[in-house]
Amino acid sequence: MLNLSSSRFDPELRFPKPQRDTDKAQRMPYTRERSLAGAAHETTRIHRITQQHGCDVATPSAGATAGRIPKIGVLWHAANIEEETSYYQSLAEGFRKQGYVDGQNIALEHRFPDEVPEAFARMAAELVSLKCDVLIGAGAAAPYLKRATWTIPIVFLFGFDPIGAGLVESFARPGGNVTGLSNFSVQLSAKRLQYLKEIVPTVTRVGLLINPNVIISSLYVQEAIEAGIKLGVHTQNFEVRSLSDFEPAFDAMVKVGMQGVVANGESLIFQARRVIANLALARNLPNCGYVRELLEAGGLISY
């Protein structure tokens, strides 16, 4: 996991360009614990951003705001707080550790689009209209926030490929109004195919769950094709745009003889983790996910 810092926020900070083959953080499995720690850590950066943009924020010792309460808009990806519970709680805890409590010295505006593209766009525009001081985008939400504003600072959480998604120009110099966390899961998509092949050597045909609404999907496909050629594995895309698309996608996999499934990093995949596990098990399709929660939901492996 790398932290990105936009020069607009912190001119003095520069982060080295990651080394794909040697960067230790990249090769570590992307687990729930790392995700939660990252969400909490980002609250420190949000605190600095609000100060740099002229917000009067009460310190923990002040006991009350010394002026206008900063407003922070949070665009999640799931349907409600219950589906975001662990991350929602982690974000709130991160703010508390910095001395900020919602309703006391900061105001948090939460929106839950349920992975619906139209809802993402509508809610992003709504948060911008509320004149939030900082915007937070979880998973697939960040690109919608960037399209909605070029001026309000945006912090993305769990960005799967911020360059491929068009969020930043580069890791060394992100530019623009966006900063956040990246787990490099696009580069790891080839490794998922490799590990699935190692665990189930007889696999020669693997289905890729792809959400065409997400910009980086084409990068997942490219990585998988290149890895498949080396591994002797044929890959085929199966599109999913909502939860209702997964069962037809798995039925189509069975129909054309797929022998395994790879689910790469994307927030709809996370939302559907239990659905994916149940469908794969019912159809005897070994599967590899991108995060520990997919394993805990009943998947074969995750990386």
User: pLDDT tens per residue, the chain (303 residues)?
Assistant: 434 433 333 323 222 233 333 333 333 333 344 444 444 445 555 545 544 444 433 343 333 345 789 999 999 988 899 888 878 898 999 999 999 999 999 999 999 999 888 999 999 999 999 999 999 998 889 999 999 999 999 999 876 678 777 888 877 788 899 998 776 556 788 999 999 999 999 999 999 999 998 878 888 899 899 999 999 999 999 999 999 999 999 999 999 999 999 998 888 998 999 999 999 999 999 999 988 899 999 999 998
User: What are 164's two structure tokens?
Assistant: 């491929």
- pTM of structure: 0.62
User: What are 124's two structure tokens?
Assistant: 């992003």
The pLDDT assigned to 71 comes to 96
The pLDDT assigned to 169 comes to 84
Nearest to 145 by CA among 167, 116, 115, 161: 167
Question: How far apart are the C-alpha atoms of 66 and 57, rounded to whole Å?
Answer: 6
- List the domains of the chain with CATH numbers: 2-183 (3.40.50.2300), 186-302 (3.40.50.2300)
Torsion angle in degrees (nearest 10) through CA of 244, 247, 249, 250: 160
Indicate the pairing of strand 287-289 with strand 260-263: parallel
Nearest to 264 by CA among 185, 196, 194, 195: 185
Residue located via tokens 């609404």: 213
Beta bridge partners of 72: 108, 134
Contacts of 21 (CB under 8 A, 6+ apart): none
The number of angstroms, rounded, from the C-alpha of 80 to the middle of its chain's C-alpha atoms is: 17
The pLDDT assigned to 184 comes to 57
The pLDDT assigned to 207 comes to 98
Nearest to 152 by CA among 236, 50, 254: 50
Beta bridge partners of 154: 135, 178
The pLDDT assigned to 58 comes to 38
The pLDDT assigned to 147 comes to 94
Backbone Cα Rg of the chain: 20
